[in-house]
Amino acid sequence: MNLRQITPKDQLILKEIYLHSINSIDENIYSRDQKFAWASQAWENPKFKNSILNGQGWLLINNNINIGFAIRYPENRLSLFYVRGNYSRKGFGTIILNSVEKDALNSGIKTLETEASLISYKLFLKRNWEIIRIEKVIIRDLIFKRFKMLKII
């Protein structure tokens, strides 16, 4: 297993993991239309590209397969955190999140925040993140529920 820092050259790899992760979500959790709207953010939302180009993050690779990634941007915000669907709930997300939290702490960051999906918020809770509030956001005229979360590291 290889965990390495993300570089701007990884843009396509990160988008591919992002798409795979979203498309693998059970449609009882997010509908097909919601998944399409969410996935479109890789091309339509400038904040996505900005996070990839300017953020600090980690890419996990196992047996030459890009498993998942996480990016902090700005430094105190976990802006992107995705694991391929067929690798979720197998400890890979925890490995990535451990690295992100350790890296933030080593950079002098005392707290991290994120907006977690219906999929990821349970992992954050297990890792002592706190829910600050439940939010609703609209993407392509569709409503998404997410969890604004915070962790003191």
CA gap 68, 54 in Å, rounded: 18
Strand order in the sheet with 65-72: 2-5, 56-62, 65-72, 77-83, 111-116, 142-152, 130-139
The CATH number of the domain holding residue 71 is 3.40.630.30
Q: How many domains does the chain have?
A: 1
Q: What are 89-148's pLDDT values in tens digits? A: 899 999 999 999 999 999 999 999 999 999 999 999 999 999 999 999 999 999 999 999
* Per-residue pLDDT band at 73 (split at 50, 70, 90): very high
Predicted TM-score (pTM) of this structure: 0.95
What would the two tokens of residue 25 be?
Answer: 């979500």
Q: What is the residue range of 119's domain? A: 2-152
Alpha helices in 58-151 (DSSP H): 92-106, 121-126
CA gap 24, 76 in Å, rounded: 28
